Amino acid sequence: MTREELCAAAQAMLPMAYAPYSHFPVGAALECEDGTVYTGCNIENAAYGPSNCAERTAVFKAVSEGRRRFKRIAVAADTDQFCPPCGVCRQVLQEFAPELEVLLVNRRGEIRSLTLPELLPYSFGSANLT
């Protein structure tokens, strides 16, 4: 899958978002090392705390299907600026793919490529527990 196709899969999730409170839909597409793609969208809740970001939705879907090795993730928002993963999502991504490529795509289809270490320097991981 090309990076443009992965970004398009993330953008296709924007209408699926449940964002009645923030009105800020986000879509994600997570590519596993074997090429399988899991998508996600943000899902809000009136109590706010139980809400879930698009990135974690995609990761949790993949992990629940037995996937543990990820190549890259695309995150799309219907904004002019890029929408990077929040801190909680960065930590969840670090658990499974500390060197993950993160593609950010805006409403104009522009793509910015970053790495998870760029987004989460000095991260906390399983090595810190030994």
Catalytic residue among 4, 33, 55, 99: 55
Whether 33 is a known active-site residue: answer: no
Angle between helices 54-64 and 87-96 (to 10 degrees): 30
**Residue 26 · residue 15 · CB < 8 Å:** no
Q: What share of the chain is helix, strand, coil (3-state, %, to 5)?
A: 30, 25, 40
Kindly list the catalytic residues. Answer: 55
